[in-house]
Structures are given as structure tokens and as C-alpha cells.
Amino acid sequence: MKDQLCCPVCLEVLRDPVTIPCGHSYCMDCIKGYWRKTEQKVGYTCPQCRRSFSPRPMLARNTLLAGLVEKLRDVGPRNSSPAECEACGGRKRRGAKSCAKCLSSHCEAHPKPHGERERGRPHKLQALRRACVQHRRPAELYCHTDQQLICSLCTADGHSGHRAVTAAEERAEKQVTVGLSAIASWRGGGQLITSLFSEHCTAVEEDSERICGKLLRSIERRHCELRELLHAEERTALAQAEGLLERLEEQVEEHRRKESELEQLAHTDDHVQFLQKCMALCGPAELEEVPSVDVHPYFSLIILRRALVELRERVNDVCDRELSRISKLSEFGIILKGENYRPKSNPPRLRNCFDVTLDPNTVNSYLCLSDGSRRVSATYESQHYPDHPERFATWAQVLGREGLSGHCYWEVEWGGSGGIAVGAAYKGITRHGGSADGRLGCNPKSWSLDLSDGLCTFQHNKTRIDTPTPISPRIGVYLDHKAGTLAFYCVSPRGDTMTLLHKVQTTFSQPLYPAFWVGQGSTLKLCPIFNFSA
């Protein structure tokens, strides 16, 4: 039956069989290709009987032959598995490729014998997995309705009326769709980064404008004070000079009066009267000394001018040095991955930094404050602080001065062998009593990160969670009170990278105070960082 249903042109089983007016049947592609080659020489003829046709016959699919071919293909898989090589002898190997023309399967070792058997005609072998399972033909079409690959015969069998396109067209469409989706995702990420940079750059710019404005106003105020000082000195000196001139004028007027009387006395003939009055008029005059000036009159102004020039140079040096430190921020980048980042425009370090100072009214008597209440060390002797109701009586703990209820960030450095705890607490945390409820992290009113003996543990309400051990003695704490976020970071010594150690997500009902515990032999210091919100 297979031989009877072979195409006389390609000698393969008919594909899309058509019957021409002389009664012979061919594959539709084969007869079309034959006529294209011969129409210029002999016109349209039958390859077998040579009968001529004019005009070119209309070709239509022979449904009877197509049904017989389909039945032949349905029987084929039962006689020979499409997954086995048809050229192997004995135990057959698994087929790797199939022929697009004869629909046979071949292993990797038999593509050449297949070509020789088919009389040298080039047969296109392709991967077996791309063949249609039902018809064993190349799956070169894509059905949009069922969203699967099909062959040309499937369009009339099971997929009739469905929208089908070639695999190449569907691939091009998919590539465009995937590309647009990726581009949209990248654009969305880029817009997010751009908006983040824009927001933080605007905030930093506003902060810099406010800080520089305060600096200019401070300089202008000092200038006004200096100008008022100069005017006051000028008024004082002028007043003294005017008083001296008035006294000198009075003395000059007195001398003129005496000279007038002496002139009148010179005309008298009474010698005794002349001598008496002359002795009275020529007596020693009490003249006020004119103050001597031993220095150049502009000497004090020269000194003042030199002092102002020196002040200007010192201010310029300070501004250049600080601006150089600020400009180094441009060397930092951002790691948009996980919870690690470098602080270029990051809110915790630049926008929300908070200058924490320790509250002397809360410090335990075995803790010693120094460096303007920014450093605390554990001691073996009581410091004899005055009694205060907010002082921690049992645990070596201390709170910050101010309660926090917004976005805040602060950093600490610590050293020693006794360990520390860094965290935050409500103002109502227990201050007295010997129970463990008063320690940070052992009650519902405090959260703490404990570091000691190479271990790092987060505690809240007596619940302990082990966290990655920091590789730097510098710890950063970030608080977003409204969002209920409290995060602890390990900060590199240079402050250019940060690694998340633990993050809490909860709801805060009261302002939080920075809280610290210091073990014996340890010291904790609050680190200064750039504060652009000052």
C-alpha cells in the first residue's frame, strides 16, 4: 500500500496529494515544482504520460488519497516505533532525527545511508522532538488557539479553523513581546532609581541651601557685631576728643582776656597799679596737658585689618577642607541588591542621621560618661551620681536624651571584652528592681542587639534570635517609627558599605529612645556622621 501511495516525482509517500486531469496523482509541492521548471520548454505536462494541458490545471487536494495516507501513517507507528532508528539492524538505537520527506527516524550513525538509499536526493533531517506526534511530520506551525506546535496536516485534523502561523513568525513575535516586557521592566527599574536619586538629591540640595544660608547669616551677624564695635570705639574716641577741645578753647579764651587787660594796663600812668595788676595777670597759668600719641594713629586699624585677613584665610581653609570631605561622597556607589548598600544617596546615612547624646539622668552609677556625653565606659567603682527617678539602678544602661518618632539613623563604635547592647526603648522601661525584666530586650518595651564573645543576638521580650556576627566594631541603627521598622547594620570602618544584621517590622505606640548597655571592660562611643538635616 505504501508503494501505491508514493509520489512519482519524489518517490515518497504522498504529501498533500492532488490529482491532475490525466488521472495521475502527485504531491502538491512536487507537481508545482515540476511545472515551474518545465513551463518555458514544454508547457504543462504530466511527468508520467506526457499529456499536455493548456491552460494550467487548477490543483485541489484529493481528500480520498489524503485519507488513505493518514491511515497509512496511523498504522506506521505500530509497525515501527518513531523513536527507533529504521536503518539499524538487530537491536535498534533510539532515533535522533527524522526525515522531513519520508518521515523515517534515524540515529546519529545513519544519516548518510539514508541519503544514499534515497538516490542522492537531499533529504532534510531535523531533530525528532520537533516532529508532530500525531502525524510524524515536522511541526513547523504554531496554533494560537491551542498554543502548541503543529504540522501542516494538523490544520485540517483537530485544528481546523484555528489561527495558525509559521514557527518563524511566532518566534519573531515572541521575541518582540519578551523584549518589550524586559525593556518595560528595565525602564520601570530605571525610573525608580531616577526618582530615588532625584528625591534624595533634592533633599540634600535643600539641606545644603539651609546650612549655607545659616553660615552666611552667622558671618553677616559677626560682621554687624564687629562694625558696631568699631562704631562704638569711634564714638568714644570722638567724645573724648570733643571734651578736650572744649577745655582747650576755654583756656585760649582766658589767655585772650588776660592779653586784652595787659594791653589796657600798658596805657596807665600809675606805676604801682601797673605792677599790682601785672603780677596778678602774669601768674602761672594752669594749662591742661594735651595727651601725647606715642603710636601711629592707624596702627590699631592695621592690626584689626590683619586679624580680619587671617580670619578670612582660616575660614577659607575650613571650607575647603570640609567641602573636600563632602565631595568624597561622590566616590561611593549604590548596591541595589538585598539589604546591602553604599551610602551615596541612601536615607539612613545622609538624610536621616541623628546626633545622639546620652542622658546623664538615666546613666547607671557604674557607667562613666565623657566626651560631651558621647562616650560611656563601664567602671568598677560607683560614680556617685545624684539621685534621679529616671536613673537605671540595677543594669549598666543609659538612654539617649531625646525621644524619636520619625526617620532616624545613628552609629556607635565599641571595644573591649565585656560586650555591649545597642537598641531602642520606650521611656517607661523598668529602671529599678533586680529582675531581668529591666534589661534591654528582656521586656516588651525594648529592642536590642547584643554583641559579646564573638556572638551577635537580637532580643525582644525575652525572645532571642541569632544573627550574623559583624566583622566591624561599628554598628548602625535605622528607625522608621511610622512604618514600624527598626534595622541594625554592620558598617565598614570607612563608612562606605553597610550590611544588614537584623530588621524588625512591628508597630511602635510611643516615641523610642536610643538605648545602650555596656559590660565591664567595654567602651561605647557615639560616632559623628554627616548630618545634612542640621
pLDDT tens for each residue of 345-374 = 344 444 567 789 999 999 999 999 999 899
Residue 400 CA to residue 404 CA, distance in Å, equals 10
CA distance 149 to 156: 14
Strand partners, 456: 451
| DSSP collapsed to 3 states, 466-531 | ECCCCCCCEEEEEEECCCCEEEEEEECCCCCCEEEEEEEECCCCCCEEEEEEECCCEEEEECCCCC
Q: pLDDT for 256-302, tens place per residue?
A: 888 888 777 777 777 777 777 777 767 655 555 555 544 445 556 66
Instruction: Give the whole-angstrom CA distance, residue 425 versus residue 435.
Output: 17
Tell me the torsion sign for CA atoms 115, 119, 120, 123: negative
The mean pLDDT of 52-69, rounded to a whole number, is 86
Q: What is the Cα–Cα distance from 514 to 525, expressed in whole angstroms?
A: 13
| 248/315 Cα distance (integer angstroms) | 47
Report helix, strand or coil for 414. strand
Q: Report the distance separating Cα 413 and Cα 524, nearest Å.
A: 6
Q: Does residue 47 have a cis peptide bond before it, meaning omega lies within 30 degrees of 0?
A: no
Nearest to 194 by CA among 345, 328, 330: 345
309 Cβ partners below 8 Å, 6+ apart? none
Using the CB atoms, write b or e for 31-67: b if 16+ within 10 Å: beebbeeeeeeeebbbbeeeeeeeeebeeeebeebbe
Instruction: Provide mean pLDDT across the span 365-387.
Output: 92
Q: What is the pLDDT of residues 402-453, one digit of tens each?
A: 999 888 899 999 999 889 999 999 999 999 877 788 899 999 999 999 998 7
pLDDT in tens, 134-144: 666 777 788 88
- In angstroms, the CA 401 to CA 121 distance is 93
